[in-house]
Structure 1
Amino acid sequence: MGFKIAVAGATGNVGREMLNILSERGFPVSEVVALASSRSVGTEVSFGDKTLKVKNLENYDFSDTDICLMSAGGTVSQKWSPKIGAQGCVVIDNSSAWRYDSDVPLIVPEVNPDAISTFTRRNIIANPNCSTAQLVVALKPLHDHAKIKRIVVSTYQSVSGAGKDGMDELFNQTRAVFVADPLSNKKFPKRIAFNVIPHIDVFMEDGYTKEEWKVLAETKKILDPKIRVTCTAVRVPVFIGHAESVNIEFENEISAEEARDILRDAPGCQVIDKHEDGGYMTPYECAGEDATFISRIREDATVENGLNLWIVSDNLRKGAALNAIQIAELLVNRGLIKAKLAA
């Protein structure tokens, strides 16, 4: 007997990717239900070779559902996730709504799987920010070996991180440039076509943006609260795939060659690091892939025990949908939930 899974926000980029990955990975399902807001009811979405008709989240009964993959945004999650959890359905939430709640585990399965045991406090598990997920997958094995003291991160984030509207805006602006049409900014504060924007999410009092703060807070919660983290988050004119330039300072000695060997053996990591033209990964090449790719591994001579890395991953997969499915697999594989219908 498989598990009954609901995907809330099934018509969005991440929701559709969740359905794809559930099918790809052969997750043990008895039934999959696609949910969204009332305006999307009746819309058809794909699950493997099946077509699902979207149902209304607001009047759906979760009492016989085992897992809800929530990708409907923070406001919706704050309203519905506690109600869904109270019906005995485990919510795996992709928004930022629950990431900083001390009663909600924030999980990257390759990094902190044991932390999942506290999910029963609220029946909610948080998925990290897309930039954080790929970052900590690469940092965890290095931290275990040489203990990280400080991280400086610069992100290069694709427009799909802002949803379908972000992707449409890049496409429309790029086309407008070539046909000499006027450009308009709706999703982003400045033109994104042939440009980069050092501004993601709202500004905070200290001058950091909320996106930058997320990387700081989530890395500490997932990896180690003692690590000092600073970040600059930048939106770039790429459709899918986030990249990060990461400078790391360690407590103990570690060479670039040691780091390569450690990362080659680490779960979820793939090293593509040749000192030649094209001997590295780019966002374009990582689209559709599950791995977190690490390139440009080199020592930083300006600090003691320093390294530089270039980290690339598909933000719709490892940064969102794939990580959520891996969390669900962790629940099943550790026997932390049982299928209600089987019971």
Structure 2
Amino acid sequence: MGYKVAVVGATGNVGREMLAILAERNFPASEVVALASRKSAGTECSFGDKTLKVKALDHYDFSDVDICLMSAGGSVSKEWSPKIGAQGAVVIDNSSAWRMDPDVPLIVPEVNADAVAGFTKKNIIANPNCSTAQLVVALKPLHDKAKIKRVVVATYQSVSGAGKDAMDELFSQTKSVFTLDEVESKKFPKRIAFNLIPQIDVFMEDGFTKEEWKMVVETKKILDPKIKLVATCVRVPVFVGHSEAVNIEFENPITADEAREVLRAAPGCLVIDKHEPGGYVTPYECVGEDATYISRIREDGTVENGLEMWVVSDNLRKGAALNAVQIAECLINRKLISAKKQAA
């Protein structure tokens, strides 16, 4: 018998992707339940070749649920994750609500799978920010090889990271530009069509945005607290797929060829790096793929032991849904949980 899995926020971009990935990977589920707010109750969601009717979160009994994949935003998670965890289900949360809680492990399975065992304190495991997830997958093997001192990263983040309304806004604005209609901005502070916005999330007192802060503190928690990191996060007019220009300074020497070799052998990484037109991966090509793609690996002669590289990933998959499902698989493979119905 398999595990009973609940997906909270099943009607959102990430929730739908979670359902698709559970089906794709033949996750050992005896039952999958789609949950959302009361206004979404009755909506239909695809799960492989089946259709699930969405149920209201407010009235759901989690006592026989084994794993809850939560993608309903921080405020919902803060209210519901402890309640669900108290009923014995392990909550894998995609919001920022629990990431920096010392009693909640922040997990990217290719990077720090061993830390997953710490879930028992609250029955909650946190998924990192989408831009952090792909970054640490690429950094981990290089850190093991030559020890990273400092990272400077500029992100080029797709609108899907801001939800379905943001995707709709890019579509409608693009259409308005071509039909010479007025371009309206609702979701973003400035026009996103044929433009870039150097702000993701709110500004903090030091002038950095919260998205940039998240990349710093999450990388430290997942990978190594000694790594110094600074980020500039930019929203770009791309529907799906986050890209990052990453500059790394190491303690020990490492060549571009050595880095390619290390990354090619690393879990979750796919190196496509030919020094010719088109010999790299763009966000368009990574959509629907599980890997973190790494291109343009080269040595930085302006610092001692420096490398520069280009990192691309599907933010709805590795940045969110896929990572959550991989965490659930990790719990099962390590025999850290057992199905309640089976146990009974």
Q: Deviations over 1:47-99 (max 9, x none)?
A: 01110000000110000000000000000000000000000000000000000
Partner of 1:72 in structure 2?
Answer: 72
Q: Deviations over 1:184-206 (max 9, x none)?
A: 11000000000000000000000
1:144-163 correspondence to structure 2 within 5 Å: 144-163=144-163
Partner of 1:303 in structure 2?
Answer: 303
Q: Deviations over 1:223-282 (max 9, x none)?
A: 000000000000000000000000000000000000000000000000000000000000
Partner of 1:41 in structure 2?
Answer: 41
Partner of 1:188 in structure 2?
Answer: 188
AA partner of residue 239 (structure 2): F
Paired residue secondary structure (1:112): helix
Partner of 2:27 in structure 1?
Answer: 27
Partner of 2:130 in structure 1?
Answer: 130
Matched, 1:242 2:242: yes
Partner of 1:339 in structure 2?
Answer: 339
Paired residue secondary structure (1:91): strand
Partner of 1:255 in structure 2?
Answer: 255
1:258-297 correspondence to structure 2 within 5 Å: 258-297=258-297
AA partner of residue 68 (structure 2): C
1-structure distance, mates of 2:230, 2:319: 20
2-structure distance, mates of 1:256, 1:31: 47
Residues matched between the structures, number: 343
2-structure distance, mates of 1:223, 1:210: 19
1:31-180 correspondence to structure 2 within 5 Å: 31-180=31-180
2-structure distance, mates of 1:13, 1:27: 20
Tell me by how many angstroms 1:323 deviates.
0.1
Partner of 2:217 in structure 1?
Answer: 217
Paired residue secondary structure (2:263): helix
Paired residue secondary structure (2:248): strand
AA partner of residue 162 (structure 2): A
Tell me by how many angstroms 1:180 deviates.
0.4
Paired residue secondary structure (1:45): strand
2-structure distance, mates of 1:321, 1:117: 20
Paired residue secondary structure (2:327): helix
Q: Deviations over 1:101-139 (max 9, x none)?
A: 000000000000000111000000000000000000000
AA partner of residue 339 (structure 2): A
2-structure distance, mates of 1:342, 1:274: 51
Tell me by how many angstroms 1:337 deviates.
0.2
Percent sequence identity over aligned pairs: 78
2-structure distance, mates of 1:172, 1:229: 36
2-structure distance, mates of 1:123, 1:287: 32
AA partner of residue 198 (structure 1): P
Calculate the TM-score normalised by the size of structure 1: 1.00
Unaligned runs of 5+ in 2: none
AA partner of residue 246 (structure 1): V
Paired residue secondary structure (2:329): helix
2-structure distance, mates of 1:233, 1:58: 35
2-structure distance, mates of 1:256, 1:58: 53
2-structure distance, mates of 1:251, 1:59: 54
AA partner of residue 204 (structure 1): M
